[in-house]
Amino acid sequence: MQIALIAGFFSSIFALMCFVFLPSKYGDSIFGVTVESAQNRLMNLLTPEDIQEKLEIIDKEPKKVLLNALTYGLLFGLIGTLATFKKLGGLSIMVGIILALLGLVLGRIAAEQEYSKWQAKVFEGVPTLVNFFPAFLEVPGITPREALALTLPFLSEPLKSEMWSALDVIQREGKAKKAMNNFAKRLKHPCIDALAIRLASAWDAKVTPDLFDDLMDQIEHLKREAASKKTAVNTAFLALVGVIGCVALLSEFGLPAYKFITSKFIGF
């Protein structure tokens, strides 16, 4: 009788594990679906659709970025809990949770700043593009496609790669407007939108050297924006690291000091 009960118990456990973990003919296992659902919820929370789109533009996997953010959070939380456990006891768990949340925020900021840094690097090459492209078009017999191809070697990355992609679309499909629209959508900036429109117009009308003259003020602003983005990245990280440091100091010295002062006050 006991053997039958034990066999039935283990058989039930085995059947339950097969049901939960093994995929069926209709799709993934319950465990797999649950994990994927939780992963998608976390991804939407930490990396919304707009951030996911930006990450895909710069060839970063959103799932990998999510994993990095979780790693930051768990690492900060674990360090905070272990560092304060001796002095705070159970309260160290709260410190760990706070530091874990700050770590997740740090991971999210890092994801957003990856696109900003890429965007700033593209902006740095725009002045070269607006100087060389019209100059090559002034040469008799040079077509807009040839002028763009001649301009590419003078451009810095990643603008060079973006223009290569646009030129490839133009060569294969002959659709300059489509190529430049794709370029503008990836950069997500009003000045780049205007720049793309003028580049596309070179295939439809005769271009003069003053093609980009009305954009020069905006292009100067782009140069300043590229420099400010680099500074903003460093400032954001320093600010968040400072907050994490303050939380750590408060948990390490502030709470024990508060307990000491209140105990003395009550003692009097």
Q: Domain segments of the chain: what residues? A: 122-268
The pTM assigned to this predicted structure is: 0.61
pLDDT of residue 258: 53
**How confident is the model at residue 175, as a pLDDT?**
85
Sign of CA dihedral 246, 249, 251, 257: negative
Distance between CA atoms of residues 41 and 163, nearest Å: 36
d(CA 137, CA 200): 13
CA dist 144 and 179 (Å) reads 13
**pLDDT value of residue 267:** 52
Can you tell me the distance from the alpha carbon of 191 to that of 22, in angstroms, rounded to the nearest whole number? 53
**d(C-alpha 42, C-alpha 151), whole Å:** 44
Pick from 39, 30, 116: nearest CA to 70? 39
How far is it, in rounded angstroms, from Cα 12 to Cα 18?
10
Quote the pLDDT of residue 4: 55
Cβ atoms of residues 55 and 62 within 8 Å:
yes
Residues of the chain predicted below pLDDT 70: 1-49, 62, 65-66, 80, 83-92, 95, 205-209, 223, 225-268
Structure confidence by residue, pLDDT tens digits, 195-206: 888 888 877 766
